[in-house]
Amino acid sequence: MTIRNIGPAAIPSLGLGTFRMDAGEAREITKAALAEGYRHIDTAQAYENEAEVGEGIRAADTPRDRIFLTTKILPRDFAAADFRKATEASLRALGTDHIDLLLLHWPSRDIPLSETLPVLDALIDEGKVRFGGVSNFTTAMLAEAQGIMRAPIATNQVEMHPFIDQTRLRSFMQDAGIPLTAYAPLAQGRVMQDDTMAAIAEAHDTTAAAIAVAWLLSKPGMIALPKTAKASRLAGNLRAAEIVLTADEIARIDALAGPDGRIVAPETLAPDWDD
């Protein structure tokens, strides 16, 4: 399989998302994913399954130094002292001495980046975190973050799938050299219900989910985090990295994006999006 390493943090381009997984699911699917060949596992404090993800990692045969582990901290803990405490809490929950990638999960409306990002830099200097990044940031927020943080911004993790138009954000990030990590790459199941995706999947003798992941991976600087709680689907998602879409197929999928494509926009957290 062809899993590329993306950006300054060399993030594996295909990982396992664990959003909305309960304790038992997160533990077992993490272990199964690592056995299948995944090397990138994504969780967050908000998912309330860090401990179970950590258990899955320790139960696997994969050495910790071959696993790229991402977690995220919510804005309620962006004050300097709170951010450090929250990071220590994640380290304890995950049962690890370092986090490969630590993200600011959503932008804060109250605490400036100038307070939070220097702490992230310090945590990187101390070896508790290898790389830092952000999630759900707009172009303006990314520009501000780049002006504050000493370490490179390893990624901006955002909603990305065939039905959302992220052209402006993607263009800015590509010019800035910031990889985009796509969450909700299957649009929470919508890709499996779309006729265009189904037709392209049939042409490749695969699933619409695999086509969505292959489409994402065809884009430069793109990382995909498909989620599944079923071990039987892990191999198929991994094989998506081997699917080569034609220029026409990519264009047909690109054309699915529309103004109503965004799914994730919690009222208390979402910024004024670029689109």
| pLDDT score, position 175 | 97
Question: Using CA atoms, how far apart are residues 41 and 171, in angstroms rounded to an integer?
Answer: 26
Using pLDDT thresholds of 50, 70 and 90, give the confidence band for residue 162.
very high
Residue identified by tokens 């892990």 is 234
- In this prediction, residues 78-85 reach a mean pLDDT of 98
Amino acid identity, position 21: M
Question: Using CA atoms, how far apart are residues 209 and 88, in angstroms rounded to an integer?
Answer: 36
φ, ψ of residue 101 in degrees (nearest 5): -145, 120
User: How much is the CA Rg of the chain, to the nearest whole Å?
Assistant: 18
- Asked if the model's pLDDT at residue 55 lies above 90, the reply is yes
* Of 60, 29, 67, 52, residue with least CA distance to 232: 29
Q: Which residues are catalytic?
A: 47
Instruction: Say how many residues make up the chain.
Output: 275
* Of 94, 80, 98, residue with least CA distance to 45: 94
- In this prediction, residues 29-39 reach a mean pLDDT of 97
With b for 16 or more beta-carbon neighbours within 10 A and e for fewer, the 70-88 pattern comes to: bbbbebebbbeebbbebbe
Instruction: Locate 73 and state its tokens.
Output: 């901290």
100: three-class secondary structure by DSSP: strand
Kindly tell me the burial class for residue 125, based on how many C-beta atoms sit within 10 Å of its own C-beta (0-12, 13-18, 19 or more): exposed
Q: What sign has the CA pseudo-torsion 101, 59, 183, 205? A: positive
- Asked if the model's pLDDT at residue 23 lies above 90, the reply is no
User: For residue 85, what are the β-bridge partners?
Assistant: none
- In this prediction, residues 114-118 reach a mean pLDDT of 98
268: three-class secondary structure by DSSP: coil
- 181-235 per-position pLDDT tens digit: 999 999 999 999 999 999 999 999 999 999 999 999 999 999 999 998 899 999 9
What is the distance of C-alpha 45 from the center of its chain? Answer: 14
* Of 158, 160, 165, residue with least CA distance to 142: 158
Using pLDDT thresholds of 50, 70 and 90, give the confidence band for residue 3.
confident
